[in-house]
Every structure is written in C-alpha cells, then in structure tokens.
Amino acid sequence: MLNRTAALVFASATLLSGAAFAQAPAAAPALVEIADTVTVPSLGMTVDQIDDMNVYSADGTEIGEVGEVYGTTADAATHIEIDFDDDNGSTYPDRDDVLVPVENVSNAAGRLVINLTPEQVQALPTR
C-alpha cells in the first residue's frame, strides 16, 4: 500500500511539474545580430530602416518598438526583437527583448504590424 501511495504521489508531481514547464516561454534560438545594410525581403526594408520603429497590433494600437533584428546567419533575418509596452491601452504584456519571428510581422503602409495575440507574445522567447 505504501509503494502504491508513493507511486501516485510521484506521478502527480511529475504531471504537475510538466504543466508548469509547458507555460514557460520558449527558449531563445541561437541567433546573430543582422547588419544594418541587410534587407528583410518580407518587409521590403533594411535593418537600419526597421531599427527603432514602432510596432502595432492588427487593430492599430501601438504596442512596442523594435530593438534589433536577428537571424540564424548574418545575412538572413529570422527574428525581430521587440520591446512591448502595455501603455496606450494595449493588452500586450509589458516585456522587453521578445523575439518575434519575421513571418509574424508585416509592413502595412510603412507601419510594422504583428499578427500575434497577447497570449502568443507571452509564450515567445526573449533575448
């Protein structure tokens, strides 16, 4: 009976610790900073043009600012580092250095817009 109780306690603890880990942000991938002269094709802009731009949600609310642009190689951008701010009525988390995949950012008439929910942003890794 004691062994059975110990096994149940161990199994419960294992399941609970797994749930806690599932909610933690993902680990940051190995990235290098991209040079200012490199163009991000999907945005039609150079890294220098993107640097320090404001970032908006799909509804037009300003939600942050670009920090740096990173990639898995020095000539191909894969992530944009964004400092999110919960001012301006934003529901996005107040988090700095969030690595947003480039495919989740678009150039809408010169504005950088992300297509992620606040919950999705919370799960992204930071630098």
Q: Encoding tokens for residue 40? A: 């991000």
Question: Range with the lowest mean pLDDT among 9-13, 29-33, 74-78?
Answer: 9-13
Reported confidence tier of residue 86, pLDDT bands at 50, 70, 90: confident
pLDDT at 61: 92
**pLDDT, position 23:** 55
H/E segment holding residue 9: helix 2-22
Find the mean pLDDT for residues 21-26.
57
Every domain of the chain and the residues it spans: 27-122
More confident residue, 105 or 1: 105
Q: What angle do CA 54, 59, 64 make, to 5 degrees?
A: 25
> If pLDDT is split at 50, 70 and 90, which confidence band does 37 have?
very high
Q: Which helix (H) or strand (E) holds 108?
A: strand 105-108
CATH class of the 27-122 domain in this structure: mainly beta
Q: What is the pLDDT of residue 79?
A: 97
Q: What is the pTM of this model?
A: 0.76
Query: How are beta strands 45-46 and 54-56 bridged, if at all?
Result: unpaired
- What integer is the mean pLDDT of 90-97? 89
pLDDT tens-place string over residues 97-125:
999 999 999 999 999 999 999 999 999 99
DSSP letters, 13-69, are HHHHHHHHHHTSPPPPP--EEPPTT-EETTTTEEHHHHTT-EEE-TTS-EEEEEEEE
